[in-house]
Amino acid sequence: MTQSPDLRLVDPTEEIPEYPVELTEARMTSDYFTMFWHDRWLYSETCLKADLDVQGAALNLFFLARKQTPVGSLPDDSAVLASLLRIDIEQWGRLCGRAITPLNNWRRYRYGNKVILGHPIVIEVALDAVHRREVREAAQNDKATSMRLKRLGELMIEIGCDARMTQDKILLERLDAWLLENHVGQRRMPRFEASLNAALRHAVQMGWINGGR
């Protein structure tokens, strides 16, 4: 595809798809690792047919796009792209004059009121990274919650609660939620004991323990 020389504002009459909103989170740009499907690259049109210097520029653009905001995009600006590749604008122009260019299969997308470039494969890989991050964070949150509930049960026994109370998962989850909202600081004795007793009094008032008796 050919590329406009400057970043353009969106023409309201122009049919351009929106860039995936999931990739607008800035913290994704701090990732130091990205999955690379080498088989797809080795059998792609760019790898099979493009000149070697074009292939090198295309590969670098794939990885540079992962550091942009939104993630996986490139600016629709020749001068900026040349700068990202550390080449001059004349060399970039020569690369873009080939039968297959470094921007092969890159397309224009809307991002706010701007036009940016996106590649379907780069977007797919970035969305996969977002999904994997969410799964990883959910697993970490589940592990942290499990450890917190286990420690809460131990502390309840330490202050004299019936051990059977600590087997009530719903009660532990309710107490934990109350403590997260009302206790400031780490859950360390003896300071934590006052908060835990307050949580237990609240549990009785709410009928979470012994039907409120």
Residue pLDDT, tens place only, 109-143: 999 889 999 999 999 988 888 888 777 777 678 88
The pLDDT, as a whole number, for residue 183 is 86
Mean pLDDT of all residues in 153-160? 93
Residue 8 CB contacts under 8 Å (≥ 6 apart), including other chains = 76, 114, 115
Asked if residue 47 has pLDDT above 70, the reply is: yes
Q: Which residue has the higher pLDDT, 2 or 24?
A: 24
Per-residue tokens: 115? 């036009």
Residue 57 CA to residue 130 CA, distance in Å, equals 25
**pLDDT score of 70 more than 50:** yes
- Mean pLDDT of the region 173-195: 87
pTM of the model: 0.60
| Position 212 pLDDT exceeds 50 | no
Q: Residue 34 has what pLDDT? A: 77
